[in-house]
Structure 1
Amino acid sequence: MKKVVISLFFLLFALAFFATPSFALHGGFTENTNTCFRCHDTHQADAKSLLNKNDVYQTCMSCHDGTTGSRSVNRTATESVFNENSPNAAGHTARVTGTFAGASSSMSAHLSSSVVKISAAPGGTTNPDAPGNWQGTFSCDSCHNAHGSYSSKVGRYLSNNPNGMVSVPVEQGGRALKDVPVVTTIDNNGPEFVFHNVEGKLTLKRKVQISNKGQYTTYWVEDKSPWMKVTPKTAIGTTVTADVTINANINNATTNHVPGLVPNITGAGINNIAKVDVERAYYVEAPANKSEYWQSTKVVNGATVPNMAGIQLSEFCSSCHSDYLVKSGGSTSVHSGESFYGHTTNSSSYTCVRCHYAHGTDANLMIDANGNSVFSLQRDRGLTLQQAQSHMNDTNSSLKKFVGSSSCWACHNSSKATNVVHDGKVTNDRPKTGMPAGR
């Protein structure tokens, strides 16, 4: 009986220790919180910032490696991944994260274990004098802030200042806007950003164009990005401070930032403001339905509006992959000045996470142009696991959701390809529905 009691005690202890905590670990702390010690040690820590593991990566993985019940970043089970992480999963179960724990030759992932510099990012720069934190090491906290985020909750604590790019001008891949004009009337032929004066309130608005078969519809969207710094100025550049109230700013606010609130400037002094400098925090309106990351529009209160989540997330990715934030029709490197052409990544329907996972990929996650996965190939075609993984083999997977270049074929099977090839044969493997369901 004594052995049974002791065994039961240790079982209950293990369940209590390893179970997913029902209290806040990364923010929203109570006044009697005792959660800090999950990550920190006050007097004998193993790393800087009083971390109780050797570095940021080890600290994060002590909970998120899949062994404690916390949200795992190492999901690998084929059926589980297909149902919950695959881009052709049903409805809102489509995911954008992927996994760090791929095991096949097709595996690729962001190296978040502090072994490479941020400058190693494709589309980034190795110039040691470039503004930003390019010489810093890449780790979990390069993309996430464990203590909170200005992005929506389902954004998983996305950092408000990845790579230190908030204060870097947009022309150099950052988020800072200089001399944004103040207008009372919106002009579709004007600049991309304006401060719109409506009934004594200045809000930052952005021009967004949505294409439908080559026909563009222009929308003006209020920019909800919190302001890290804002400087209202007269026409000759003198700072305006008298009778001006800055609302929902982070660092020099008259009132605090409220999630989802559009930052604005009010007060009698706004009539003296002709232009504004503003440094915007990175902000992602992460949707519960992840497929909204690549849907061009949505309906809000009966009105059709641009779906900004995908654009916001692509801009987040471009804090390191700066040259990959490209509009249709070519672009210029923000680092070298070299001209190039690249696939559109900053429209609301063509975004980074439409083709790539954020954490990593593997044969067990990828799909082909018809939406087949390792799991469905076994279930529907009777393939063995080895055969199905061979079908998904991609030694240059680059965090892709699709094997090889099948994402190209899935989208462009009607516009760029023909049924008849040069030897007169007709292809029978043409994707049947374009992008697979949920894409």
Structure 2
Amino acid sequence: MKSQFSVLTAAILATLVLAPVAPAEAKIPFFGSDSQEMPSLAPMLEQVTPAVVNISVAGSREVKARLPGGLEQFFGRGELRQEQPFRGLGSGVIIDAKKGYVVTNHHVINEADEIEVTLKDGRSFKAKKIGEDPESDIALLQIEADGLTQVELADSDALRVGDFTVAIGNPFGLGQTVTSGIVSALGRSGLGIEGYEDFIQTDAAINSGNSGGALVNLKGELIGINTAILGPNGGNIGIGFAIPANMMKNLVAQFVEFGEVRRGALGVSGRDLNTEIAKSMNVKANKGGFVQEVVPGSAAEKAGLKSGDVITHLNGKRIESFTELQAKVATLGVGKEIKLGILREDKELTLTAKLQAREETVAEAKTLHPMLEGATLKDGDDSVLVEDVANRSPAAMIGLEKGDQIIGVSRVKVANTKQLKELLSKASGTTALQIQRGNRILYILIR
């Protein structure tokens, strides 16, 4: 030990002797000194955070419980439904200070009878709903107040993986909180969180109560609305999702004009392009939307789109998958004109389509199967939407619920009520309906 210490001491002394001596008047700069300003997000946040609000809601919703065994002999098998009060917290973003428009998530204010918006300065106001869309999880509120601050919108289509992000919201009711991160991925879909998914993924910490809050860039511009997280027990593990600002902007424009979303329809069905499909179809691309069918008389057919085409761009922006195409088109209104970049037999073409009104087919489910009696079904986008379920009906007794989406029959995909009827007419014995309920996939058996 002594010899090692001597060698180390000699080395240190040699370094001190050989190192150049700084002039007496020289100063070493450090963060916080007069010579160099401490880098900080504070100046930007001071401008933006007044535009992010806390939202508290109250109301009542219907809850279901299985009838006690003693009552089933009188009323038969079924469920007991009753109203139960609830309260909730979330976040919102002021996007128009003059008109008092506040954007949030649909799930934050869903079924709420009372909505209160609290500003950063402590003022609180009652809010009214202007429009809401469960399938995209966006809602627009309005408050009457002076001295509001709005956030400016960025072009979310211009985002790149690696861009810095800042999330602002009200996690766990603590009050306004700021976290930072980067764009981890773009165009995330297939998560089963919403009907239309084209999420920005970020590692900025997002927790319960952040829903409806702002995701901004370093300029303080809104790039997304914080919506969901992926993590155990609702905790943050660095995987959060936000609805892109451009998607939100398109929906808000329809809320303001119509009070609802009037989706435009392209009129195609398809699937995500992958290596296997590209190889079998001899397509020189690995990403995009593969067109399986073009609906006769649709906007797609009128534009010249054909089965076998691969859609690679929408309005000049790259499309990674058919799911992303669906989500983007679904937020555009009836009559919107879009440009589609496609690959057809290795040729790059650009087609122009004018979106048409989406035709909705409503059907009494008893015409499809006796055990579905009591349910009202409607064509959705690549699914059959359960619009209503009558209390104590056969449909209710097998477990079907309002808002469910029927996406398959015995693992065969269903896109509309016509396909559902065809598959059920061919089925024999026990048949499994594949259901999407919120972010869960489940099966309901019918005989």
Fold match (TM-score > 0.5): no
The structure with the larger Rg is 2
Q: Which has the higher strand share?
A: 2
Relative to the length of structure 2, the TM-score reads 0.24
